[in-house]
Amino acid sequence: MSRSTLVEPLPPPELSLEEWFALPEDEPGELVEGRLEEEEVPDYLHELLVMLLGRLLGNWTAPRGGLVAGSEAKFAVGSGRGRKPDLTVYLPGGRRPPARGLIRVPPDIAIEVVSPTPRDGRRDRVEKLADYAAFGVAWYWLLDPQLRSLEILELDAQGRYLHVLGAGSGKLEAIPGCDGLTLDLDELWAAIDQLDVEA
């Protein structure tokens, strides 16, 4: 009678932030405690909202000298932790990210479009919230298409986020940190209402 021994698979090796940055472009994932963590797979609705919001923010900030970028930029948010926000904004007059390489300069605004699965929602609302606060991101926006809501959190002097705006509809004309920006949530929701929900 032979006995077989179950062999536990070895955990993947830990990566440094530099090794994570150097991974091929088609290797998805964010870095959490030195390990590559699978990120959500964005659907068309998610990408539509990212593009609409990116265009709106770009049109508002570019003439003022600000920058807006999309979701594949890699940010070193902490020791052994790397994130790729859906959108980032560097406001006029502030520090700037490097043209190439791992980004260690926190954006003024990080934006996540909340994904529908509980795991991804937790990541956006709990884990990334803590990472962006520790990194020094001044404002964290959560756009949730399932709840049809926008939440804006502002980093306080103690390094904690305070809820400074919450809205589900209407035209927002007083957006914290963004003088002169108008955001029409009804237009965003109307755009996603054009998608085929039967698929």
Q: What is the pLDDT of residue 16?
A: 93
Which phi and psi (to 5°) does residue 20 adopt? -60, -45
Q: What is the pLDDT of residue 2?
A: 52
- In this prediction, residue 198 carries a pLDDT of 65
The string of pLDDT tens digits covering residues 137-172 is 999 999 999 999 999 999 999 999 999 999 999 999
CA distance 174 to 56: 15
Instruction: Give the pLDDT band (50/70/90) at residue 62.
Output: very high
**Torsion angle defined by CA atoms of residues 108, 113, 117 and 118, in that order, rounded to the nearest 10 degrees:** 40
> What dihedral angle (degrees, nearest 10) is formed by the CA atoms of 78, 139, 55, 178?
-150
Domain segments of the chain: what residues? Answer: 41-192
Facing residues of 38 across strands? none
Instruction: Return the number of other C-beta atoms located less than 10 Å from residue 119's C-beta.
Output: 9
- The confidence band for 27, taking pLDDT boundaries of 50, 70 and 90, is confident
The answer on pLDDT for 4 being more than 70 is no
The label of the residue with tokens 């705006």 reads 165
- CB-based contacts of 10, cutoff 8 Å, min separation 6: none
Per-residue pLDDT, 195: 92
CATH label, 41-192, candidates 3.40.50.620, 3.40.50.10420, 3.90.950.10, 3.90.1570.10: 3.90.1570.10
189-193 mean pLDDT: 95
For residue 51, pLDDT over 70 is answered with yes
Which of 197, 109, 180 is closest to 150 using CA atoms?
A: 109
Termini Cα distance of the chain: 54
3-12, 39-48, 151-160, 182-191: the lowest-pLDDT one: 3-12
Strand (E) or helix (H) holding 195 = none
Tens of pLDDT, residue by residue over 86-116, are 999 999 999 999 999 999 999 999 999 998 8
Looking at residue 5, its pLDDT comes to: 63
**Contact present, 158 and 148 (Cβ < 8 Å):** no
Handedness of CA 50, 186, 121, 66 (dihedral sign): positive
Confidence tier at 26 by pLDDT (50, 70, 90): confident
